[in-house]
Amino acid sequence: MFTSLNKTLLVGTLLATASAATAQTVLLNDTFTSATRNGTAPSVSGVDRDGVGTTNDYVVATNGNAAQATGVTNDYASNVGTGINGNSFFVINPAGAYSVSTYFTSTALAAGESISVSFNIRSTLANPGAGTGAFRVGLFNSGGTRLANNQSAFGGSGAFTDDVGYIANYSTNAAAVNQIVQERTTAVATNNIFQGTFGQVGTAVSTANTLAFDTIYAATLTLARSGDGSTMSISSTFNGINLNVNDAVTPYTTFDHLSIFFGSQFGNATTPRTNYIDDVTVTFTPIPEPSSYATLAGLGVIGLVALRRRRSAT
């Protein structure tokens, strides 16, 4: 006898199979619990994400105005008013802008696939001043040239000159300002991953953007390739702001580089300020495998059969 329990178990198994066929792949997941700093001040070369080996997984490129100290700290320390739980990556920023870069397995998006990053930030500077593009997050294709160590002059090694990809560019201001998405193309040959003549993608969102002292803010950036492969949809969120645009002109589809930018508004030449990054996750969502479509079709057939049997029994 095909009981209700049997039907429930079978449908549950089939749903689990379909879910597994389209499961996300985690390319990066950093809570910095086991991370360590490589080197001692003033010769810090970067941060290792898992404490195994001496490879720098997170590196900082500065504008050359002042050396930034990087490392990992326990946010439960008594001098932290509101912390991100557990350890965090930090940058002590005396003055000037900088970017934080990390890399993951190179991932090419086929039609219907997507890649997404999420993370938290916190600043010990009360209400960073007004600035165009004061906070930015980008996903890029490094072209195989990766920054290996902390650098001044925004990466004097030239590692960034061939990077292409997309940037969510957030300005800070108590008044309404443009929040935009940009595209970094092969025509931009500069050592600064976030500087150059970038093309704006889609329409700007005009809104105010102010940040509070010692407050956690979540940021996301998602790139999704259309079903026919011709368009890249770019969406991003930060501090209640939502950006959603499409690139159908020269969509980039391969990514291996995450970079986060803090403008000079997040620093202070008189009293150095610390900015924190935590809970960094990069995920890849593939297109459903043919087996998942077959499973879903099978579920529909089973549902119809079960319904007919139930009606016949009444």
| pLDDT for the residue 17 | 47
Q: Give the separation between CA 284 and CA 300, rounded to whole angstroms.
A: 28
Per cent of the chain over pLDDT 90 is 43
Compute φ and ψ for 192, nearest 5 degrees: -90, 115
| pLDDT for the residue 205 | 97
| pLDDT for the residue 69 | 63
- 181: its two tokens: 């998405």
Spatial contact of 165 and 137, defined as CB atoms under 8 Å apart: no
| pLDDT for the residue 264 | 85
Condensed to tens digits (0 to 9), the pLDDT of residues 11-53 reads 454 444 444 456 899 999 998 888 888 877 667 788 888 878 7
The two beta strands, 87-93 and 241-247, are: unpaired
| pLDDT for the residue 26 | 98
pTM of the model: 0.83
Dihedral of the alpha carbons of 269, 175, 120, 282, in degrees to the nearest 10: -110
Spatial contact of 84 and 278, defined as CB atoms under 8 Å apart: yes
Closest residue by Cα to residue 238 from 139, 165, 168, 138: 168
Condensed to tens digits (0 to 9), the pLDDT of residues 231-254 reads 999 999 999 999 999 999 889 999
* Rounded mean pLDDT, 293-308: 51
Q: At what angle do helices 4-21 and 290-313 cross, to 10 degrees?
A: 170
Q: Which residues of 56-94 are buried (b: 16+ CB within 10 A; e: fewer)?
A: bbbbbbbbebbbbbbbbbebeeeebeebbeebbbbbbbb
Q: Give the separation between CA 206 and CA 178, rounded to whole angstroms.
A: 4
Spatial contact of 253 and 225, defined as CB atoms under 8 Å apart: yes
